[in-house]
Structures are given as C-alpha cells and as structure tokens.
C-alpha cells in the first residue's frame, strides 16, 4: 500500500496519523491478490469442469466481496486522513479514482473487443448480444447493468437492445461500474458535507451516482455490494479510532470465532454469500487482523508464501482473464478441459495479467499527475480556514 506508518511501534490514543505498517500493507495486498485469484478459479471451474457443479461454491463471489470490503476500508481511511489534516480535495479524489479505474479499463475494453472478434468466429461464442459498439460505449460510461435496466427486467419487460450489460466476454465489468459510482457518491457527498454548499450541477451528478450506489445497497446482480463497501468503511473508522490493539492470541481467537460463525451462516442460508449477516461476519474475519499489535501481524505468516506480490496485477487479472479464457476454450477446448487445462489457464492468464499491468495499470499514477497538473487551476476544496487548497 502507499501509506506507511512513520513509527509502526508507536502506541497512540488514536491512529489518525499512523497509516499502515509494512506488515499491515502486506496483509492487505495479499487479500487483494488472493481475491483476484478466487474470481479466476471460479470462472475456470465453470470452464474446465462444466458439468461437475464445482462452480457453485461461490469462490468468485467471495473474491468480489473482498474487493469491495478492501475498497471501503482503504478509501475511507484515505479520505479520513485527508480530512483530519485539512487537505481533502474533491478534484484530487475524483481524478485519483478515475485514473486508477480507467487507465487499465480502457485498454481492457479494447482487448476484449480484439479477442472477442476471434472468439465470435467460433460456434462456442455466447456473448453476441453484448458484443457491439453501443454496449462498449455504455461500459465506457459505466452504464453496464444500470439499475433502471435491472428493475425493468424484474418487472418482466421484454429484453431490449438498450438494456446494456457488460461488454462481450468481459462479464466481470458489471462490478467496475458499481465501484465507480460508489466513488463518485462518496467523493461528492463528502465534499458537500464539508463545504456545506453545492451547485445544482454537483447535486445532479450526486443524484445520478447515488442511483447505482443505493440500488446495490439492497439489490443488484451481486445483491448488496454497496453494503460490503460500507462495512469496510465502518471498519476503517473503527481502525482509526482504536487505541487498544489486540494481542496475537486476541485477534487469532476472534478470527477463529468469526470464521465458525460465518461458516454456520452459510450453512443455514444454503451458501448465500451476498447476505447482510454474512457480510458483517466476513468483514470482521478479514479485517480484525488489522487491529493486531505491530510485530504480531499475520503478514509475518503470509510472508512465508509471499502472497502480497499477487496484488501487483490483481486488477488487470480481474479485467482480462474472462476474455482470454473464452478465446482459448473456444479454439482449443481439449486443452482447456480438466485439471491440466485449469492449471494451464491459471498460468497463461496470470502471465498476461502481469504484462498488461506493467503496460496499462502501473502508469495510473503518471496519468493522475498529468490530469491534476492540467486541472490545477480548477482544484476546488471546501473553503475553511483549517482546510488549505490542494
């Protein structure tokens, strides 16, 4: 992660100025990397073992929930830190989130367009309805699976061409739009609360962004992903205000208890992962270790496996793996079946994701700096004496 504690061993009444220790950063990176691999494995189970039912285990859902949980935790922690130091800027927030999401997302759309052109030449291609330029444009505008379309489908309105979904074989793109509109809602909402004023234009953008954010609080294709984001946000507030840190035995025991309760909840809900009670338990299960004392963090164990390196290409893997798998499975079905095919696809998709990340994801900070430099004169920050512009 990008925020490190100046003194990981310091013990303060509040944690507002501490940030994350290297061990905590490694832990969060490991979670993000493993989450992407879970989504990949879920899709590969459906591809390599199509009649086994292995893909019903919900591994991909757990991966998506982890992404939203970590996003809520990290973004809230970052925003809170900027507010406390009087340097929250709406322009900087939106530009940062835009560059982080769109810098690799636009190349990913182009990659899907290219790969699907080949895949669509085979009889195995299943995404012809959503492989067109209007759908690609809608995805670029983050309108895939817009709540209006979902509500109309639930009302049994016949499917229309303008009920846009994810572009082509990039079926996972539906979560990107939810993430983006949550960012816009949080960014603008925070600014309005701090500034105690807003233009009609800003309110209109907030109202539009809130449609997706609020709809996915209670429904949506993943059912309540905004809720998981909010659980992560709540954990961030608790983290920043906690003065008493848990011992190794304390957080380990609590994690064990939450794991048992989460498993029991899944049993009684027949494996329903997108569910409020499970969300609360799952949030605690993953984030309680963040409250461990320095030097007793689970990253010391994770370091043995070096799982944190998986985070480097996690977003790129999430964006690209689906279309790669579809292409290879369409042309070489015999090589992508069974355990051998699954291992082969894991290796290929991860290698391509690493290359893609180096080319299109890693430059997002440079894109951010370039955009901020161009918008420097229009950088707006709530005008308070304790909150300098920046």
How crowded is residue 37: how many other Cβ atoms within 10 Å of its Cβ? 20
Give the integer Cα–Cα distance in Å for 201 and 188: 11
Does residue 200 lie within any of the structural domains?
A: yes
Query: Looking at the 3D structure of the chain, how many domains does it have?
Result: 1
Does residue 187 lie within any of the structural domains?
A: yes
Does residue 8 lie within any of the structural domains?
A: no
Give the integer Cα–Cα distance in Å for 210 and 248: 40
pLDDT at 297: 57
pLDDT at 243: 59
Classify residue 68 as exposed, middle or buried by CB count within 10 Å of its CB (0-12, 13-18, 19+).
buried
Does residue 85 lie within any of the structural domains?
A: yes
Cβ-proximal residues to 321 (8 Å cutoff; 6+ apart), any chain? 39, 40, 43, 349, 353
Closest CA to 47 of 352, 325, 346: 325
N-to-C CA span, the chain: 22
Taking the chain (390 residues) in consecutive chunks of 10 residues, what is each chunk's mean pLDDT? 31 44 83 92 89 67 91 94 90 95 97 96 90 95 91 85 91 94 96 91 95 87 84 90 73 88 89 82 86 63 64 94 94 89 95 96 94 72 37
Q: What angle do CA 346, 139, 206 make, to 5 degrees?
A: 120
Tokens linked to 45: 């189970």
Does residue 75 lie within any of the structural domains?
A: yes
Does residue 385 lie within any of the structural domains?
A: no
Asked whether 152 and 97 are in contact (CB, 8 A), the reply is: no
Give the domain range for residue 130: 22-374
Does residue 148 lie within any of the structural domains?
A: yes
Does residue 279 lie within any of the structural domains?
A: yes
């Amino acid at each position: 992660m990008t925020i490190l504690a100046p003194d990981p061993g310091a013990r303060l009444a509040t944690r507002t100025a501490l940030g994350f220790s290297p061990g905590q950063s490694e832990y969060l990176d490991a979670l993000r990397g493993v989450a992407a691999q879970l989504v990949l494995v879920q899709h590969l189970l459906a591809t390599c073992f199509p009649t086994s039912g292995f893909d019903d285990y919900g591994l991909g859902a757990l991966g998506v929930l982890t992404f939203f949980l970590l996003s809520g935790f990290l973004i809230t922690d970052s925003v809170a830190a900027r507010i406390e130091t009087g340097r929250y800027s709406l322009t900087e927030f939106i530009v940062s989130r835009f560059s982080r999401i769109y810098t690799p997302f636009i190349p990913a759309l182009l990659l899907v367009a290219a790969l699907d052109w080949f895949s669509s030449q085979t009889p195995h291609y299943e995404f012809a309805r959503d492989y067109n330029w209007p759908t690609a444009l809608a995805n670029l505008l983050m309108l895939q699976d817009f709540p209006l379309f979902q509500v109309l489908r639930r009302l049994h309105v016949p499917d229309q061409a303008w009920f846009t979904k994810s572009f082509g074989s990039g079926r996972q793109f539906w979560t990107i739009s939810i993430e983006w509109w949550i960012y816009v809602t949080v960014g603008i909402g925070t600014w309005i609360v701090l500034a105690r004023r807003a233009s009609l234009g800003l309110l209109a953008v907030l109202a539009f962004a809130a449609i997706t954010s609020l709809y996915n609080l209670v429904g949506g294709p993943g059912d309540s992903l905004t809720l998981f984001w909010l659980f992560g946000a709540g954990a961030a507030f608790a983290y920043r205000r906690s003065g008493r840190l848990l011992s190794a035995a304390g957080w380990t025991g609590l994690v064990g208890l939450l794991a048992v309760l989460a498993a029991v909840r899944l049993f009684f809900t027949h494996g329903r992962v997108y569910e409020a009670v499970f969300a609360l338990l799952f949030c605690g299960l993953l984030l309680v270790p963040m409250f461990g004392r320095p030097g007793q963090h689970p990253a010391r164990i994770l370091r043995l496996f070096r799982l944190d390196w998986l985070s480097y290409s996690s977003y790129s893997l999430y964006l690209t793996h689906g279309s790669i798998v579809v292409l290879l499975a369409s042309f070489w079905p015999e090589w992508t079946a069974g355990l051998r095919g699954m291992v082969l696809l894991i290796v290929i998709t991860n290698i391509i994701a690493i290359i893609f990340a180096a080319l299109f994801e890693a430059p997002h900070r440079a894109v951010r700096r370039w955009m901020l430099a161009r918008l420097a004169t229009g950088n707006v920050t709530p005008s308070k004496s304790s909150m300098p512009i920046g």
